[in-house]
Amino acid sequence: MIRLIVTLVAACLVVEGAEERIQWFRHDKFGMFIHWGPYSLLAGEWQGQRVPVGSEAEWIMQRFNIPVKQYREMAHGLDPEKFNAQEIVALAKRTGMKYVVITAKHHDGFAMYRSKVSNYNIVDWTAFKRDPVEELSRECRKAGIRFCVYYSHREDWDHPDGYGNNWDYDRTRKNFERYLEEKSKPQLRELLTNYGPLGLVWFDRGMDTPQQTAEFVKLVRTLQPNCLINGRVGNYAQDLMGDYQNMNDNGMPAGGLDEYWETPQTLNGTWGYSRFDQQWKTPGVVIRRLVEIVSKGGNYLLNIGPMADGTIPAPSVAVLEQVGAWMRKNGDSIYGTSACPMEFPWGRCTIKDNRLFLHVFSPPADGILRVSGLRNPVRTAYALLEPSRKLAVRGSGGVTAISLPPGGRDENDTVIVAEIAGKLETEPFVLTQGSDLGFELDTMAAATSGKAAKRFNREGKFHIARWTAPEDSATWTLLISQAGTYSVRIRYAARPESAGARYVLNVGPQSLEGAVEQTGPWYQYRTFDLGMAKIEKAGRYLVTMHPAESAGHNLMYLQSVVLQPVGVPQMID
């Protein structure tokens, strides 16, 4: 009996639910990406041909169709004698990054770790003889940084059956399953077995079919149940099968999302090192991107591309040092915070409990910070770095005005703390009528409740999904200045199993009903007419959308509702 209990407790400790598993990721916000491989040795140039600045230097093999034989020959020369895992991890830590993701294998197929699956790996193939993945994992553990690996599970330009190399290998004769069984899965198994607990596995260029994706998910869950899986384990045109969504490379959503997400971004225009690309982002840009991402509920995975000898390009170190200096002082306004739905002309906000962090990117000339859209009273306000000096706060007409301190400004982002009374409440976003008198009620303008969630559709578009019951709803607030009749159209994608499900769209007091029509497998948005709505007089109206009844699955991927005046609108007194 006791043994049984012990076993059960142990099982509970290891196998966490999805929500518990992702807690650290939600808290930590900021990670280091490392792109490093034989392409770093080419540094953006092959036989006099250069990868254009702003393009991905780690794609050089594919860009110039370098034959496998020659690329393999070149890879023998990788000998990163200056590689120092301790220094890299220390840099990540000084920058305020909490997880490190290293390319264990990129699309070129070369393993940067000791692999028994293929001798095309840094230990067996080069004079280096060391395992950088092992060294990094050890240093991360010592430093309290989560160690993670990137593994290109689908693309492999070296393996005859891998995806992507059609210059050496005949596409029609490939047996993709053979590549998966011979190389991709066994190598992933090695990574999940030999390097201790991994924070996450970062897959790229998702699998073709959901069945294939499920096998990779299962492999990770079986070997390391607490390890996170990024969204790109699966295809962008399919539903999310990992733990969180990734934006497209260097992507930034237009607004906040109601799901866990991360954006991978580079410090210049390439991931792998290029000696030609010296277009480095400034520390200010990096700091403000971090803040913007966190203000929208996301994580920032920021890349460095070490050189072939293992050293990190000095300009990128310099940028990270300055980001780190800001983070050491202001990290409290980043870690453990949540998204904040307000955006301001002068900056962004993040929130933790009753502390609203106002990130001032460009201080107003008159020194008065106007916070519009906040419904809560502000109890007290002060600069994060100077809590003892209280700032004057005045509230009038829905705008809270905070007097900025005269000194102590940070040129990149000065953080002001506003302690609010109660749970954050903000004014809804109000849509107003433009010259064509139409309204587009899109995802970003919506307020969601229940399970309805704003999501990234992974082809770069946004929608609202997870509607399963009438309480899952989205609401838009409209200021209609022109009375009259409006046509109502709805744009969505829906899978076959949703066909026929009924939904309700309320326009003010009027209720329109529709039945979902399927639009194809995934994300094939179409527009449907829902009828007319009569607006008797100008004013403020709510438009609300929700399923008519409970269903076991998602109703649709709603992109927008469009209201367009028909006929001649009445003029208003």
**Least separation, in Å, of the C-beta of 269 and ligand H79?**
10
Tokens of 200: 């996450």
Q: What's the token pair of residue 375?
A: 């419904």
Min separation Cβ 100 and ligand H79, Å = 15
User: Quick one: 58 or 161, whose CB is closer to ligand H79?
Assistant: 58
Q: Give the count of beta carbons closer than 10 Å to the beta carbon of residue 440.
A: 16
Selected from 39, 59, 71, 541, the binder of ligand H79 by CB under 6 A is 59
Nearest approach in angstroms of CB 51 to ligand H79 is: 8
What lies within 8 Å, CB to CB, of 323 at 6+ separation is 95, 96, 283, 286, 287, 290
Among positive and negative, which fits the CA dihedral 435, 441, 442, 445? positive
Q: What are phi and psi of 283, to 5 degrees?
A: -55, -35
Window 508 to 537, contacts with ligand H79 (CB under 6 A) = none
CA-based nearest residue to 122, from 66, 183, 76, 71: 76
**CB under 6 A: which stretch of 50-58, 221-229, 315-323, 398-406 binds ligand H79?**
50-58
Stretch that binds ligand H79, among 54-62, 92-100, 219-227, 290-298 (CB under 6 A): 54-62
Is 262 a binding residue for ligand H79 by CB under 6 A? The answer is no
Chosen residue from 55, 372, 485, 518 binding ligand H79 by CB under 6 A: 55
Q: Report if residue 205 touches ligand H79, rule: CB under 6 A.
A: yes
Partner residues linked to 202 by β-bridges:
150
Asked if 104 contacts 150 with a C-beta cutoff of 8 angstroms, the reply is yes
Q: Is 413 in the site for ligand H79 (CB under 6 A)?
A: no
Q: Could you tell me which stretch among 4-12, 55-63, 350-358, 473-481 binds ligand H79 (CB under 6 A)?
A: 55-63
Judged by CB under 6 A, the stretch of 53-61, 207-215, 380-388, 438-446 that binds ligand H79 is 53-61
Q: Which of residues 5-44 bind ligand H79 (CB under 6 A)?
A: 35
Q: Identify which of residues 58 and 190 has a Cβ nearer to ligand H79 in the complex.
A: 58
Could you tell me which stretch among 52-60, 254-262, 310-318, 425-433 binds ligand H79 (CB under 6 A)?
52-60
DSSP 8-state code for residue 451: T
Q: How many CB atoms lie within 10 A of CB 383?
A: 22
Nearest to 418 by CA among 491, 485, 504, 351: 351
Q: Which of 25, 31, 32, 56 binds ligand H79 (CB under 6 A)?
A: 56
Q: Which of 271, 326, 357, 467 binds ligand H79 (CB under 6 A)?
A: 271
Minimal distance, residue 380 CB to ligand H79, in Å: 43
Helices (H), 296-428: 314-330
Other Cβ atoms within 10 Å of 277 Cβ, number: 23
344 binds ligand H79 (CB under 6 A): no
Our finding on whether 544 is near ligand H79 (CB under 6 A) is no
Binding of residue 204 to ligand H79 (CB under 6 A)? yes
Among the listed ranges 57-65, 341-349, 380-388, 424-432, the one in contact with ligand H79 (CB under 6 A) is: 57-65
**311 burial class (0-12, 13-18, 19+ CB within 10 angstroms)?**
middle
Region binding ligand H79 by CB under 6 A among candidate stretches 10-18, 36-44, 59-67, 311-319: 59-67
Piece in contact with ligand H79 (CB under 6 A), picked from 56-64, 89-97, 115-123, 535-543: 56-64
| Cα separations in angstroms, 534 against 198, 396, 415 | 57, 35, 47
Which listed residue (253, 264, 347, 373) binds ligand H79 by CB under 6 A? 264
Q: CA neighbours within 13 Å on the CB side: how many for 17?
A: 2
Rounded Cα distance, 49 and 63, in Å? 10
Q: Which residue has the tokens 């003889």?
A: 129
| Count of residues interacting with ligand H79 (CB under 6 A) | 12
Give 56 or 442: the residue with its C-beta nearer to ligand H79. 56
Pick from 28, 58, 139, 277 the residue near ligand H79 by CB under 6 A.
Answer: 58
With tokens 């690996």, the residue in question is: 149
Q: Which two tokens stand for residue 408?
A: 């102590």
Distance CA 438, CA 423 (A): 34
Residue 50 contacts ligand H79 per CB under 6 A: no
Secondary structure (3-state) at 277: coil
Tokens linked to 20: 């518990």
Q: How far, in whole angstroms, is CA 375 from its chain's centroid?
A: 29
Residue from 73, 81, 177, 249 binding ligand H79 (CB under 6 A): 249
Q: Which is nearer to ligand H79, 35 or 463 (CB)?
A: 35
Interface ranges with ligand H79 (CB under 6 A): 35, 55-56, 58-59, 62-63, 204-205, 249, 264, 271
